[in-house]
Structure 1
């Protein structure tokens, strides 16, 4: 019966088509229409993922939704609600016979996502579908963990882009504090982001007396990369303040010229953190995320069996 449930790639085109009229639909509405389309019974819908925490079909619909959004084919006008985009409508107008991971590669939004998370020419999830029989269980597990982590990072980055720039500036200060800068003291951090702040969004004191400060610049960009001019301005702001250490964080990426400008700076030490590294650090230090499930992998205790 489990084999009757379609894989997430097979759900892509039917899901996009059911949204073709432009109306907004909730997850439950989408689930019901798709279940009818694939002729799934209530017994099918009761089948769980191995952890038992979610329905298998619901899980696969979730992955479908996620990849359609990465490609810019659908959008979330509000939480838990899905709607087709103009890009999605234009794609359906070509009367496609299929829509799978390979077809997503033609869309700029998907290409941008791949660049952000350094995905290979074909996503690891696509590889799992084609080579899982050739992989060891450990390799499959590692690839799955990578997929889940990338998905979490994508959602986290989307949330940071959706919120205000003030929220983002506070977020990066909290992250640096969690990483140990400022000794976790509230008074050790200052949020300065405002008009006329000379390009400084926050200050972290590395010691109680404030003798060693790290200045912060945070840029919440949606698509544009941070260029060399922004880095030069930041370096100039640090020089005006008479400090030598700065961290520049962004939800986007740094251009090659921006990276070179930071590297060439002699008087000021500049650390650049792009969207990918930012989400990796947030996940590592549990900021804005929570543990959904813990799986313990056990092995035989050979010492126990020694006589």
Structure 2
């Protein structure tokens, strides 16, 4: 593990690569697009990309560090994000081609952020210290991931059933019989109220990485009347699994990993409630 971790770039390098990735994507991009482009630029191996981050639910170590790299760039004023996790290079940096990661680390608005990252502080401690936490690694997500992992298998299938209904699926049914060949449920997806597709889904509570063999096994379980397969996991998907799912010569499989699953639960308010709070500017009251 230690030798693998040495292959993962430090935050200063990832800050530079994240900015380069956004430039390459046309100045804006979603989390997964930025992560994929950064990995491509760095030529990281699949083994390195699969190293899990111990304290952050289903995130890999590289995606965890890239999440913080975006936060460092945001604190520096180089990028900004919308509520839909779309990151954009700010107007002030529109003509800036490259950034200096070490300089940004040294001049970060939240100086204690870098120290906390170097000390491997837990996110809850950072939050208490008033540090802005990336959405992907906020403590409530880690806690929810633990709850999902500990759920009864059939309860998790029913939760998935509810989520798919909220996403627009109809006639969603959980398969109760054993030996169903990997299919945990079926449903219909209607597009624009006209076109409908028969779908089958498999939902697995994994803490690790789903590989290509699991995708192939699921695809092999699909009957001829199934037009779309959806593989849902609380873990993550390996690069090979993603490539296998989108193989142009085979039936396409849509993938929902743990981070997206948790995001959807929050979006539809399923077992999750948003709590609004206020940050106190103590310096303001001292100087008024």
Q: Normalised by the size of structure 2, how large is the TM-score? A: 0.51
- Partner residue of 2:204 out of 219, 222, 241: 219
SS at match of 1:264: coil
Change (3 A) 1:265 1:237: farther
Deviation at 1:135, TM superposition (A): 3.1
Picking from 141, 147, 151, the partner of 1:163 is 151
Give the equivalent residue in structure 2 for 1:234.
218
* 1:209 CA drift (Å): 11
List per-residue Cα deviations over 1:150-185 (Å, max 9, x = no partner).
222211111100112211111112111111222xxx
1:109 aligns with 2:109: no
Match of 1:202 among 157, 165, 185: 185
Whether the 8 Å CA contact 1:219–1:250 is kept in 2: the answer is yes
User: Is this contact kept in 2: 1:116–1:275, CA < 8 A?
Assistant: no
Equivalent residue number for residue 120 of structure 1? 65
Q: Give me the whole-angstrom Cα distance separating, in 1, the residues matched to 2:250 and 2:67.
A: 42
Secondary structure of the residue aligned to 2:65 is coil
Gaps of 5+ in 1: 1-106, 183-187, 297-307
Show the counterpart of 1:146. Answer: 134
Considering fraction of residues, name the structure with more strand.
2
On the 8 A contact 2:56/2:137 being kept in 1, the answer is no
1:260 aligns with 2:248: no
**1:277 alignment partner, SS class:** helix
Q: CA deviation at 1:114?
A: 5.0
CA contact (8 A) 1:247 1:271 kept: yes
Contact 2:58 2:259 in 1 (8 A): no
Distance in 2 between residues matched to 1:293 and 1:256, nearest whole Å: 37
Match of 1:135 among 106, 109, 125: 109
Structure 1: which 4+ aligned runs deviate by more than 4 Å? Answer: 111-114, 121-124, 130-134, 207-211
Q: Which structure 2 residues correspond to residues 90-109 of structure 1 after superposition, within 5 A? A: 109=54
Which of 1 and 2 has higher RCO (CA within 8 Å, sep 6+)? 2
Does the 8 Å CA contact 2:216/2:244 hold for their aligned counterparts? yes
The 2-side partners of 1:210 and 1:195 are apart by 31
For the aligned residues, what is the CA RMSD? 4.1
Please give the alpha-carbon distance, in whole angstroms, between the structure 2 residues aligned to 1:237 and 1:122: 36
TM-score by length of 1: 0.48
Give the drift of 1:265: 4.8
SS in 1 for 2:54: helix
Aligned to 1:55: none
Secondary structure at the aligned position of 1:120 is classed as helix
Equivalenced residues, count: 179
Q: Once the two structures are superposed, what CA deviation does each residue of 1:124-156 show, in whole Å capped at 9, x if it has no partner?
A: 8x978x9798539xxxx9972635972222111
Which residue matches 1:176? Answer: 164
Change (3 A) 1:229 1:288: same
Q: Is the 8 A contact 1:201 1:217 kept in 2?
A: yes
Residues 153 and 112 of structure 1: CA distance in aligned 2, closer, same or farther (over 3 Å) = closer
Alpha-carbon offset, residue 205 of structure 1:
1.8
Which has the larger Rg? 1
